[in-house]
Amino acid sequence: MTFRASLSALTGSLPRPFWVMWWGTLINRLCGFVVPFLTLFLTAQRDLTPMQATLAVNALGLGGFFAQLGGGVLADRLGRRRVMLLALTLSPPFLLGLGFAPSLPLILNCAFVFALIGEMYRPAANAAVADLVPPEERTRAYGLMYWAVNLGFAFAPILAGAIAARSYPLLFVVDAATLLVYAGFIALGVPETRPQVTAGTGRAGAVAVLRREPLLFAFAALTLLFAVVMGQGYVTLPLAMRADGLDERTYGGVIALNGLLIVAVGLFSARLLGRFPAAGVLSAALLLTGVGFGMNALADTAPLYALAVLVWTLGEVAQAAVAPGVVAALAPAHLRGTYAGVLGATWGLSGLLAPLLGGWALGQVGDGLWWGCLGVGSVGALGFLLLAKPLERRLGKGEQI
């Protein structure tokens, strides 16, 4: 088999607009400097305290939470393409404001508004992928998009370090410019994909449909468990490693394995996971995540922490490829943006809960936090197994997503 044939077998016959979005995502994530470097920038260049810098990160999280819900609804009302273009073209000025704002109140306001506008892109993009790709190819498509995000993120710190060495504000300028470049990709290569609203499915249908959608909210609740556990990798894991006498550089090397493994297996897993029932994959994903974080209770050296990261990363890969496709399959075609927004808001909520719950648990029970992650992962895994039959009845018995 030739290289081209092998690549085609892995990527499938996905439509051209999908690949336009894929390349735009890769370029955008490759230059997505601001969030990873924000606390460092604010403390080193704006002389803010760590607590004040954390407030700015929380402002981003709060804006992102509301953006997911609002962006999803707007994607169903105005169109996926239009919302993506609005988010990508209106958010750069606030990103620049975040980099050049001289006071904490302005920084907080710019952070909140930037996330509120910019994050509207995500549910619109997820809905567009569902519109463009047939159900049997969605796991592959969402897996490839997640792979692009992590492929860009793997190299972004190297590029960011080189730019920051010359000028920290230049990070914000380059990041804002890539948002506009991505908007150009969408404008030139992605048509409007929103399905036409038919009789009986008018604009007022979103709230009414959500009210009688227990599967979606059960799915979101289980996803929240997963997301809160995952959040510990960036909130409490570095603190636990420091308590074991491991410095920040060691943590950086250990957590880098997460991105490297995603890049290594993401292209192949996107095809493989589509062969299995979605509920089973998600159950295994949550169990792997719980086990991986539970292993931290026994870890006291860098190799053991690294092994734990490799285990929970496999759960992350599986969840990221499958969950958006399930939500897209649950949604009426004209409400895919709203449903994607509910799932996205779950992750936004976890960004607020994970630091609070994880920090409290680490301070009160120490390694008990990691046993708690194992317990949460096990309960969530069981929850997804209990959802298997309702999902089969709703989506079609034996359907792969």
Per-residue pLDDT of 94-143, as tens digits, reads 999 998 988 999 999 999 999 999 999 999 999 999 999 998 888 889 98
Instruction: Report the alpha-carbon distance of residue 191 to residue 332 in Å, rounded.
Output: 20
Phi, then psi, of 218 in degrees rounded to 5? -65, -40
Range in 41-50, 316-325, 342-351 with the lowest mean pLDDT: 41-50
Per-residue pLDDT of 58-108, as tens digits, reads 888 889 889 998 999 999 999 999 999 999 999 999 999 998 988 999 999
- Position 113 scores a pLDDT of 95
Helix (H, G, I), strand (E, B) or coil at 384: helix
One DSSP character per residue, 364-378 reads: HHTTHHHHHHHHHHH
- Position 204 scores a pLDDT of 46
Which domains does the chain possess?
15-192 (1.20.1250.20), 212-401 (1.20.1250.20)
Instruction: Report the alpha-carbon distance of residue 234 to residue 219 in Å, rounded.
Output: 24
- Position 135 scores a pLDDT of 87
Q: What percent of the chain stands above pLDDT 90? A: 45
Nearest to 125 by CA among 60, 175, 186, 196: 186
- Position 10 scores a pLDDT of 54
Distance between terminal CA atoms of the chain? 27
Band (399; pLDDT cuts 50, 70, 90): very low
Range in 28-42, 79-93, 334-348 with the lowest mean pLDDT: 28-42
Q: Which residue has the tokens 């403390």?
A: 43
Per-residue pLDDT of 159-204, as tens digits, reads 877 887 788 888 899 999 999 999 999 999 999 998 876 554 444 4
270-280: average pLDDT: 83
Note if the pTM is more than 0.85: no
Q: What is the chain's mean pLDDT, rounded?
A: 86
For 259, residues 6+ apart whose C-beta sits below 8 A from its C-beta are: 150, 153, 154
